[in-house]
Amino acid sequence: MCAISAAKQGRKVLILDHANKVGKKILMSGGGRCNFTNYSIEPENYLCQNTHFCKSALSRYTQWDFIGLVDEYQIDYYDKGQGQLFCRKSSKDIRDMLVAECQKYKVRVQLKTKINRVETVSQNRVTSDVDSAEGQEPMPPMRFHISTDNEDFLCESLVIATGGLSIPTMGATDFGYKVAQQFGHSIIQTRPALSPLILNKKWQDKAQNLPGNSLKARVSCADQSFTDHILFTHKGLSGPAILQISSYWTKGVPIKIDLLPDINVLEWIENSKLSRKEIQLKTLLSQQFSQSVSEFLCNEIGFNQKLKHLEQAELQKVVQLLTEWTIYPVEYEGYRVAEVTYGGVDTDEVSSKSFESANQPGLYLIGEVLDVTGHLGGYNFQWAWASGHAAGKYV
125 Cβ contact partners less than 8 Å away, ≥ 6 residues apart: 145
Q: What pLDDT score was predicted for residue 131?
A: 46
Q: Find the helix packing angle between 92-104 and 63-72, rounded to 10°.
A: 80
Task: For residue 21, give Cα distances in angstroms to 12, 89, 102, 267.
Answer: 22, 20, 15, 56
Question: 259-300, pLDDT tens digit by residue?
Answer: 999 999 999 999 998 998 899 999 999 999 999 999 999 999
Question: Which residues on neighbouring strands pair with residue 356, listed in sequence order?
Answer: 364
* Spatial distance between the Cα atoms of 44 and 41, rounded to a whole number of angstroms: 8
* Spatial distance between the Cα atoms of 276 and 234, rounded to a whole number of angstroms: 35
CATH homologous superfamily for the domain 197-332: Translation factors (2.40.30.10)
Are the beta carbons of 209 and 234 closer than 8 angstroms? no
From the list 113, 131, 115, the residue with the least C-alpha distance to 123 is 131
The domain limits of the chain are 2-191+340-392, 197-332
What is the number of residues in the chain?
Answer: 395
What is the CATH number assigned to the segment(s) 2-191+340-392?
A: 3.50.50.60
Backbone angles phi, psi at 44, to 5 degrees: -65, -15
* Spatial distance between the Cα atoms of 307 and 281, rounded to a whole number of angstroms: 6
Q: How far is CA 120 from the centre of its chain?
A: 32
Question: What is the rounded end-to-end Cα distance, in angstroms, of the chain?
Answer: 13
Enumerate residue ranges in the chain where pLDDT < 50: 124, 126-133
HEC readout, 305-322: CEHHHCCHHHHHHHHHHH
Q: What pLDDT score was predicted for residue 150?
A: 86
Question: Which residues on neighbouring strands pair with residue 146, listed in sequence order?
Answer: 118, 153
Virtual CA dihedral for 39, 42, 47, 51, nearest 10 degrees?
160
State the greatest distance between any 2 C-alpha atoms of the chain, in Å, as a whole number. Answer: 97
Handedness of CA 205, 211, 214, 220 (dihedral sign): positive
Model confidence, pTM:
0.93
* Spatial distance between the Cα atoms of 188 and 357, rounded to a whole number of angstroms: 16
* Spatial distance between the Cα atoms of 172 and 311, rounded to a whole number of angstroms: 55
Question: 316-345, pLDDT tens digit by residue?
Answer: 999 999 999 999 999 999 999 999 999 999
* Spatial distance between the Cα atoms of 130 and 133, rounded to a whole number of angstroms: 9
Question: 200-220, pLDDT tens digit by residue?
Answer: 999 999 999 999 999 999 999
Question: Which residues on neighbouring strands pair with residue 331, listed in sequence order?
Answer: 198
* Spatial distance between the Cα atoms of 345 and 366, rounded to a whole number of angstroms: 10
Q: What pLDDT score was predicted for residue 129?
A: 42
